Amino acid sequence: MNQTTDTAVIENFWQIADITKMTESYKIDQDLLRLRTTSLEELKRIFIQYRFFTLYYIEDLALLTAKLPFGALKSTLAEFLNEELGNGNERHAHPRLYDDFLYSLGITTEEIEQSNQECIQVLKTVQDSLREKTWDYGVGLRGMGGECLCQIYLSSMYEHFIQNPEIQALKPKLAWTFWNIHIGDVDIEHRERTRAAISQLIRDQPETITNLQAGYLQSKEAWDVFWKNIFKSGFYGN
């Protein structure tokens, strides 16, 4: 690619994951808006189901990192994986931090394991695709889909549920470390670094664009179904 084409192609590629458009759509999403007023019990059911995403995500990130060819992207995602695992301290592993949040809400050890099987099936399907598809497809599926799409959604989710009066009443006693990481500068930096690394990949290997896009589109579709099932579980108990 020459420099002009290079820039145009990359900008066009990132239009499929336009941060501004996604953020605006999440601000008016009716299920997300409902988090502002729903009951604490419904919020708990929603939070429990998201727990399983955090568990699968670490496995998926490990699988993706192992499949990647040596280079900047592999090193970047390996660094993110280490952070997800707590940088060597299991108490700081992100799923543990999320469980701390759940326990601080009064959720029991028994309740925390109650998964919605429709949600689990979505996660298993994504993981199967990650195993079976090419590494560049996996970058779109779990690189863009995880580090980019997930961060934007979680920030929007937090923006809504933090306004819920029942959360506000409990706020001082809740364990916020997980959310401080995932709605703050750390995850924003991850998103920007992932985007920069993928842009460099496109410059170096423009033939990867097709698989990157296909992987991301599967991730977006899976994410939409996953959250539809989470909200169904939360709001209707099934």
Residue 189's alpha-carbon distances to 9, 78, 114, 198, in angstroms, are: 23, 15, 33, 14
Domains and CATH numbers, the chain: 19-236 (1.20.910.10)
pLDDT at 238: 61
d(C-alpha 219, C-alpha 215), whole Å: 6
d(C-alpha 162, C-alpha 229), whole Å: 21
pLDDT at 3: 46
180-192 pLDDT, tens digit per residue, is 988 877 777 888 8
pLDDT over 50 (residue 68): yes
237: left (phi over 0), alpha (psi -120 to 50) or beta: left
Cα–chain center distance at 79: 16
Average pLDDT, the chain: 89
d(C-alpha 176, C-alpha 161), whole Å: 13
Q: Is the dihedral of CA 7, 9, 12, 13 positive or negative?
A: negative
Tokens of 115: 């998964």
Q: DSSP letter for 238, please.
A: -
**Proportion of the chain above pLDDT 70, given as a percent:** 94
What value does the CA radius of gyration of the chain take, rounded to a whole number of Å? Answer: 18
Per-residue pLDDT, averaged over 29-54, amounts to 93
> Cβ distance 62 to 125 under 8 Å?
no
CA atoms lying within 13 Å on the CB side of residue 94 = 23
Q: Among 53-57, 132-136, 143-147, 190-194, name the one with the lowest average pLDDT.
A: 143-147
pLDDT at 135: 96
Residue 4: which pLDDT band, with cuts at 50, 70 and 90? very low
The model's pTM is 0.89
**Proportion of the chain above pLDDT 90, given as a percent:** 63
Query: H-type helices in 85-184, by residue range?
Result: 94-104, 117-132, 135-138, 151-161, 165-170, 177-182
Residue 187 neighbours by CB distance under 10 Å? 20
Cα–chain center distance at 116: 18
d(C-alpha 220, C-alpha 140), whole Å: 10
176 phi and psi, to 5 degrees? -100, 0
Residue type, 120: I
Residue 203 neighbours by CB distance under 10 Å? 14
pLDDT at 5: 47
More confident residue, 189 or 162: 162
pLDDT at 147: 63
pLDDT over 70 (residue 12): yes
